[in-house]
Amino acid sequence: MKKLHFPSVYTILYCLIAIIAGLTWIVPAGQYQMVENELLGKLTPVAGTYLQVAATPQGLIDIILAPIQGFYDPATNQARSIDVALFVLIIGGFFGVVNKTGAIESGIYQITQRMRGKELWMIPTLMAIFALGGTIFGMSEETIPFYTLVIPIMIAARFDSITGVAVVMIGAGIGVLGSTINPFATIIASNAAQISFTDGIGLRVVMLVLGYLLCSGYVMRYAKRVRLDPRNSYVYQDKEANEAHFLHNASGENHSALNLQQKLVLMVLVITFAIMIWGVSFANWWMGEISGLFLVAAIIAGIVARLGEEQTGISFVEGAKELLGVAIIIALARGIVVIMDDGNISHTLLHYAQGLISDLPPVIFVNAIYWAEAALAFLIPSSSGLAVLSMPVMAPLADFNQVPRELVVTAFQAASGLPNLVTPTSAVVMGGIALGRVSYINWLRFIGPLIGMLMLLVMGLLSIGVLIS
């Protein structure tokens, strides 16, 4: 029987670019009147001001150039995703140097030896840490370095690469879905809705806790099944290749205790991640500063390990080459949004969503808001970008439908968090599964049932929120 061949991530993304380009020939172009919001420091749409504008359908040349323009805006020379893509390459270079020292392989072996018999409990512990980052500061692109650390540990514990991807992506994702004080989702959306970000925080905490328990239990159940029988893995056909790629010689063969140089390299690694978390949380760091941090850390690791200038450079380039495909995927994902924006259909889709949910009963209205925001989040994966675009239009509708505005904000953040676990327009989703060497089809097979359960959970909590308000 001939093995089924599923399209690669690159093919899927380019097909989506072409589909969105096709929509620009069908969906009318339109714009809301935009005004400066002093609180947000951004231009936001004014409800009720939508007007159709001249169509700008995207043709073949636009489709071809979309991934290039996904890196940067040629009109303004401003970065679109080139900063994230460069960050990925530097992360690859950093781990290329660290891997050359053998420190990670020896460290993984030591961890699995100490956790023997308790490996399963690493999953909820790590997911809780990532969920904390998600709910506090919207941890998203910042998760990229952790895949390279977590996936090998999960494989060494006799789980699989999907488990490693799930621990990081779903852990941070459920934190974003249940954001409490996330400045890039909750605070921006609350400001745009003209309410305090503390309004409705109780319901969001409940959503976060219940969502975390559901997600960690789901991942643990899958990991346990894989460990009992590797054939239960959705990536079983790649088991040997993944073990060779991620573990190198971390299985214990020819392993000795960590030597002094390896301990120092691991110390550099831990300190680097700690500085990154501090910089993102307290110093307003973004991709440029974080990239610079890991570049310096790669040099320090090479010096500590006494690799020499030439070997450090070679190891850095080899590591960057490993993640070149991920950088390209990030640009492709961003190219979808470029086509939609250049085709002037983003505001039209928002206008359609507004028309569909007006004048509905309160419980149906808040759930319709959730579904409308989820559909928009599929096309606009940036939570802050979606908040600025949709909240000034959606929040006033709540007043006419007798629904508190904080429930609209909660519906928004739950919607913007959920699709970003699966949407192919998200550089984090596509980059994360690429780092785990997981096909998009296999990721959907794994996460599909969980997405359904999370949707039911969110809708139930939103409905209860309306009934008790």
Domain boundaries, the chain: 82-324
Between 212-226, 341-355, 417-431, the lowest mean confidence (pLDDT) is in: 417-431
Q: According to the model, what pLDDT value does residue 233 have?
A: 95
Would you place residue 462 in the very low, low, confident or very high pLDDT band (cuts 50, 70, 90)?
A: very high
The answer to whether the CB of 287 falls within 8 A of the CB of 141 is: yes
Where does 138-259 have alpha helices with state H?
144-156, 161-177, 188-192, 201-228, 239-247
Q: What are phi and psi of 360, to 5 degrees?
A: -110, 155
Residue 414 has pLDDT above 80, yes or no: yes
Q: What is the pLDDT of residue 118?
A: 83
pLDDT above 70 as % of the chain: 95
Instruction: Mark 354-376 as b/e (b = at least 16 C-beta within 10 Å).
Output: beebeebebbebbbbbbbbbbbb
> Does the pLDDT at position 254 exceed 70?
no
pLDDT at 249 over 60: no
Whether the pLDDT of residue 173 is over 60: the answer is yes
Alpha-carbon distance values, 335 to 23, 285, 332, 408, 433 (Å): 15, 25, 5, 29, 18
* Weakest-pLDDT range from 39-43, 153-157, 257-261, 403-407: 39-43
Q: What is the pLDDT of residue 399?
A: 82
pLDDT reading at 1 higher than 70:
no
pLDDT of residue 192: 82
Please state, rounded to an integer, the average pLDDT across all residues of the chain.
87
The rounded distance, in Å, linking the Cα atoms of 266 and 111 is 13
pLDDT at 256: 55
Q: Are 94 and 297 in contact, with CB atoms under 8 Å apart?
A: yes
Tell me, what's the pLDDT at 45?
86
pLDDT (0 to 100) of residue 285: 84
Which residues is 44 bridged to in the sheet? 35
Q: Could you give the percent of the chain with pLDDT greater than 90?
A: 42
Q: Which residue has the higher pLDDT, 323 or 363?
A: 363
- State phi, psi for 461 to the nearest 5 degrees: -70, -40
CB 139 within 8 A of CB 175: yes
**Average confidence (pLDDT) over 383-400:** 83
> What pLDDT, on the 0 to 100 scale, is given for residue 143?
84
The residue-averaged pLDDT of 150-162 equals 92
Average pLDDT over residues 139-161: 87
- Asked whether the predicted pLDDT for residue 318 surpasses 60, the reply is yes
Query: Residue 78: pLDDT above 80?
Result: no
CB 88 within 8 A of CB 326: yes
Give the lowest-confidence range in 79-83, 333-337, 443-447, 454-458: 79-83
Between 226 and 187, residue with greater pLDDT: 226
The pTM for the full model equals 0.79
pLDDT of amino acid 402: 84
SS3 letters for 104-136? HHHHHHHHHHHCCCCHHHHHHHHHHHHHHHHHH
Give yes or no for a contact between 401 and 356, defined as CB atoms under 8 angstroms apart.
no
Assign 6 a pLDDT band (cuts: 50, 70, 90). Answer: low
Mean pLDDT of 162-181: 92
Task: Grade residue 350 by pLDDT with cuts at 50, 70 and 90.
Answer: confident
Instruction: Answer yes or no: is pLDDT of 276 > 80.
Output: yes
pLDDT digits (tens, 9 = 90+) for 116-125: 778 899 999 9
Cβ distance 140 to 130 under 8 Å? no
Residue 2 clears pLDDT 50, i.e. is over it: no
